[in-house]
Amino acid sequence: MAFSRRQFIAGTSAFALATPALVGRALANDNIIFASILDLSGGLDIYGAPMAETTKMAIDDINAAGGLLGRQVELKLYDAQSNIQLYTQYATEAAAGLRAHTVHGGITSASREAIRPTLARFNTLYFYNTQYEGGVCDFNNFNTGSTPAQTVAKVVPYVMNKWGKKVYIVAADYNYGQITAQWMQKFVKDGGGETLGVEFFPLDVTNFGPTIQKIQAAKPDLVISALVGGAHVSFYKQYAAAGMNKEIPIASTTFGVGNEQTLISAEEGDGLIAAYSYFEAVDNAVNKDFLGRLEARLGAGRPTMNELSVRSYEGAMLWAEAVKAAGTADRDAVIAALRSPLSYNGPSGTVTIDPKTNHCVQNVYIAEAKNQRFEILESFADQQPADTQLVCDLVANPNQNVFLFENGLEAAGIKM
């Protein structure tokens, strides 16, 4: 990624990089406080740095338009350093110390589950703007990223029809990878296919030689990847070095949201297919304006935009629209406005809050990597978070505050 962490830190001067010293300090102004907790260093910074950059842009855009309710929005940025303990610490500081009106943050499922109960306890409105495995049911939490029913359900049949029915799955060894692999196997089976193997890898693993040998021996028609983080980029390099990218193609539910296509060569990445709610190639006027303003802001070395970074922008804008609609930044009124339901027309298209789940109804796109960029192959409008709808009904039971992934798998006929 051409846009470096040093450039990012230098670009935070107009905002405050929050520190423990801020806890308990009385705010010296009447600003509306927006806290962001992301990994700006460590193995997950390939996701966090662009997300923070678009969050900053969103707050700038809100303030340039006059702020909210006659007040400026003040952004407090925390670097969780890919450390779950820091997520819990900073969520507590943002809620109890800063008394933030909203917190947006978390990348992995583990970081979300560190933040979510903490913010629920302090009644601090929480947005999770990352694609994930589905199943969170929490009145206080809005999940704007795509879920398996929106993306995995589209890409698996597409690539099986294109490449064949025999599939090998590789995934990160934590909630997202484990659960998404279950959804992958379901959609493979539903399409009349066969899963030849499933392997999981801790986030710090960099040696994929033995697995590549297993794939060679199994001879699948395709590989589906849910690998995560900077270390796992090694898989794609080693796979190409073994000549496998010319023999057995790859589809993924994670490749590209860390701009992995720019971290490997075109020869290594070309032909890989992915599905998300956003690619830079989305063709609408809002996206063209967004990308133009981003480049004017950051220069030609700006990070490539993906679902995580754009949904961070759109999540902030959804919150801002809800504050305006509510006429207050108070949590209960903002939640009511979001669940009205609220829509926002952003770079990815129109996103609308589903009041049953506090997730987004959103467009989904299938795209292919070509020359370190993605070209859109198919698009699907207004996809429902159907997996989470199987287990979550906040209209009927607003007191739900759980992570029901196992129930969701069972409701979909998947046995763990």
In a domain, 274, yes or no: no
Contact by Cβ (8 Å): 255, 261 = yes
Query: Do 165 and 138 lie in a common domain?
Result: no
Contact by Cβ (8 Å): 311, 130 = yes
In a domain, 170, yes or no: yes
Query: Do 164 and 48 lie in a common domain?
Result: no
Query: Do 130 and 160 lie in a common domain?
Result: no
Query: Amino acid identity of 13?
Result: S
CA distance 323 to 326: 5
Say whether 371 sits in a helix, a strand or coil. coil
CA distance 402 to 2: 39
Query: Do 311 and 343 lie in a common domain?
Result: yes
Domain count across the chain: 2
In a domain, 375, yes or no: no
- Six-digit token pair at 67? 């702020």
CA distance 401 to 399: 6
Query: Do 15 and 99 lie in a common domain?
Result: yes
pLDDT for 26 equals 36
In a domain, 268, yes or no: no
CA distance 393 to 215: 41
Q: Which structural domain range is residue 25 located in?
A: 5-146+286-359+386-411
- Six-digit token pair at 14? 């107009």
Query: Do 352 and 397 lie in a common domain?
Result: yes
Question: Would you give the DSSP letter of residue 21?
Answer: G
E-assigned strand segments in 39-153: 73-79, 102-105, 125-128, 136-138, 141-143
Burial of 406 (0-12, 13-18, 19+ CB in 10 A): middle
The CATH number of residue 136's host domain is 3.40.50.2300
Contact by Cβ (8 Å): 357, 385 = yes
Query: Do 133 and 172 lie in a common domain?
Result: no
Contact by Cβ (8 Å): 184, 409 = no
Q: Which of 142, 155, 207, 145 minimizes the C-alpha distance to 176?
A: 145
Backbone angle region of 397, left / alpha / beta, with phi > 0 → left and psi within -120 to 50 → alpha: beta
Interhelix angle 45-64/285-298, rounded to 10 degrees, is 100
Query: How many CB atoms lie under 10 A from the CB of residue 393?
Result: 15
Strand 359-370 and strand 273-276: pairing? antiparallel
pLDDT for 229 equals 87
In a domain, 335, yes or no: yes
Per DSSP, helices labelled H in 150-259 are 152-163, 175-190, 209-218, 233-241
CA 7 to chain centre: 22
pLDDT for 405 equals 56
Q: Which of 3, 88, 99, 14 minimizes the C-alpha distance to 48?
A: 3
Query: Do 242 and 156 lie in a common domain?
Result: yes
Backbone angle region of 335, left / alpha / beta, with phi > 0 → left and psi within -120 to 50 → alpha: alpha
pLDDT for 78 equals 98
CA distance 108 to 82: 9
Query: Do 123 and 191 lie in a common domain?
Result: no
Q: Is the peptide bond before 385 cis (omega within 30 degrees of 0)?
A: no
Query: Do 29 and 138 lie in a common domain?
Result: yes
Please, what's the largest Cα pairwise distance for the chain? Answer: 65
pLDDT for 402 equals 78
Task: Single out the residue in 207, 237, 252 at which a domain terminates.
Answer: 252
CA distance 7 to 261: 21
Residues written for the chain = 416
CA distance 335 to 355: 10
In a domain, 298, yes or no: yes
Query: Do 197 and 232 lie in a common domain?
Result: yes
In a domain, 133, yes or no: yes
CA distance 399 to 137: 9
Query: How many CB atoms lie under 10 A from the CB of residue 188?
Result: 24
pLDDT per 10-residue tile (average), the chain, 416 residues? 36 42 47 97 91 98 97 98 96 97 95 95 97 94 96 97 98 92 95 97 95 97 94 95 96 92 94 97 98 95 95 98 98 98 98 98 98 96 95 93 63 55
pLDDT for 28 equals 46
Query: Do 142 and 157 lie in a common domain?
Result: no
Q: Alpha carbon of 8 to those of 2, 14, 83: distances in Å?
A: 11, 12, 19
In a domain, 416, yes or no: no
CA distance 297 to 291: 10
CA distance 347 to 336: 24
